[in-house]
Amino acid sequence: MSDVSQRMVRRRLYAALGGCVALAGCMVGPNYHAPPPPATDTFTATPLPKQTASAPGAAGLPQRFAPGEDIPAAWWTLFHCEPLDALIREAIANSPNMTAAQAALRQARENFSAQAGGTLLPSVDAQLGATREKINGIAFGEPGLVEEFNLYNASVSVSYKLDLFGGARRALEALHAQIDYQQYQLQAAWLTISANLVTAAVKQASVRAQIDATERIAVEEQEQLKVLEQQFALGGVSRAAVLAQQTLLAQTRATLPPLYQQLDQTRHQLAVLAGKLPGDPGVPEFTLDMFSLPATLPVSLPSSLVRQRPDILAADATLHQASAQIGVATAAMYPQITLSASYGAEALTPAQVLRAGSTIWSIGAGLLQPVFHGGQLSAQKRAAEAAYEQADAQYRETVLLAFQNVADTLRALDHDATGLAAQTDASRAAGDALELTRGQYRVGGVSYLALLDAQRQYQQTVVSLAQAQAARYADTAALFQALGGGWWNDAAPQAGPAASTSPTATAATPH
């Protein structure tokens, strides 16, 4: 072939390769767009009151609903409990769940970086080799030729797979969606730990209040039993009255061991959530008077919830990943072009490798066009489409459950306030009735059965009052958790510098 003909062939080859490179900007498969938020401006079927009902005491303060206001990042500080603040800071630093979530995020970032480096850039390899060979001349038509020799070579090879239809970039898009998923899993772990610590602290305070109330009641019942035993010794009451009071006292004391068990369990839970052993002495003891009830309750707009809840954002990232996999499966059905080149030297001695005349090189291009795979590629694409439909359904289910979670909590806060007011009235009335009945019993105005009934009612209302007070704190924390916890205001921990994003990847950012 003449030099002119060779130049024409090379020009045509270069033109074809240039066209392939230009086409590398094309990507098959769907371009992902996050689903729109639900078209609603309210969480509940009926409007919420502007503020909740009020009741005497710190736990009975009214709370004002503030639609559209943002949630502070460290939302638990609104309870103004420094031991709780310190415990949450310690938990975020030491919790194994947080460490695991941070490691998973770093792993996702490194997987993306590894794939990006091997996909978007050419692969370059250097090779040194030395072999001892023996050849037989039969293969060359020289039966008598037998020779042994050494062969040394040094070369550099370059290969690059053209991403003609975007399959590699779609794979990177899927990996970047996995980074988003792990990022939101980290925020979810942060939110779960902080919310669980607040809830456990409030529960511990509630149980302790119930224990204190029960022990006070047991002391009063013990004093009443002493009076009845003295009256029985003087013939003033029957043996049945003494036995009834003993039974009531025993029943009251029998409620204490389960309460102490709950107290121990909540303390163990607080320790483990903070990354400590259950027997660690550094876990604080909480009481209800250590908490202040937040007077204002920020309520995010419904349209913002899908950009705030980590579980919704994680589901969105999973949906994004499934969308990208459709592109990967689609691109696998199209041609694949690989460019390769190598340059080096080969000689019989190491010194000759560096001399002129030992140079070897190669350049090439390969085209792979799937022709027949027994329906495998089409089935893989249909499977990717089905996986997307599954992820879409799971996303919609996550959104529905999130809206239900918020609606339940908002209604609970309203009902908690009303219930606490009623329970406070019931406890006050039961206490007044008990004092009045005791006075009447002393002068013989009522029977002992009436006094016994008044004691039982008072015991029930006192314990229920402690539970109602704790419910207001617990459901306030539940609202902050249901709305996403304010992690977007930069209080949530990260797992190091963010990885570079792919050109096609998008991440939902709360605003």
One-letter-per-residue 3-state SS of 251-294: HHHHCHHHHHHHHHHHHHHHHHHCCCCCCCCCCCCCCHHHCCCC
Q: What is the pTM of this model?
A: 0.83
Q: Which residues pair with 154 in a beta bridge?
A: 128, 345
Give the pairing type, strands 146-162 and 359-368.
Answer: unpaired
CATH class of 123-162+335-369: mainly beta
For residue 492, the model assigns a pLDDT of: 60
Q: Which of 294, 322, 29, 265 is nearest to 167 (CA)?
A: 29
Give the domain ranges of the chain: 47-121+166-285+301-333+387-489, 123-162+335-369
For residue 153, the model assigns a pLDDT of: 86
For residue 493, the model assigns a pLDDT of: 64
Q: Give the residue ranges of the chain where pLDDT is below 70.
A: 1-25, 139-140, 144, 491-511
Q: Which of 91, 285, 82, 84 is nearest to 191 (CA)?
A: 91
CATH tag, 47-121+166-285+301-333+387-489: 1.20.1600.10
- Report d(CA 201, CA 73) in Å as an integer: 19
Amino acid at 430: A
